[in-house]
Amino acid sequence: GCMLDGKLYPFGEIARTDSCLRCSCNQHSIDCCSLFHTPIGYDKENCKVIFNKKTCDYDVVQKSDPSKECPVYSRV
């Protein structure tokens, strides 16, 4: 298998790691890409970004009331 962040994963495709990556593991290497996109277009003055490990995505919420979401216009 392949070792990533101290955890052994089996050879083949890994749909989701503990660190929110999608990986391909073989005898020679492990190649990974992230499952999430970072928000860049949102109201930075009134909103903040919080990583949600359960959904492997960023939540953009109001600074004054984190229970309310903010609109996101673009992600990278």
pLDDT at site 47: 98
What's the CA gap between 10 and 1, in Å, rounded? 4
Domain ranges of the chain: 2-34, 39-75
CATH of domain 39-75: 2.20.25.590
The pLDDT tens digits of the residues spanning 4-61 come to 999 999 999 999 999 999 999 999 999 999 999 999 999 999 999 999 999 999 999 9
- Cβ contact 52:58 at 8 Å: yes
Whether the pTM exceeds 0.75: the reply is no
10 Å Cβ neighbour count for 51? 13
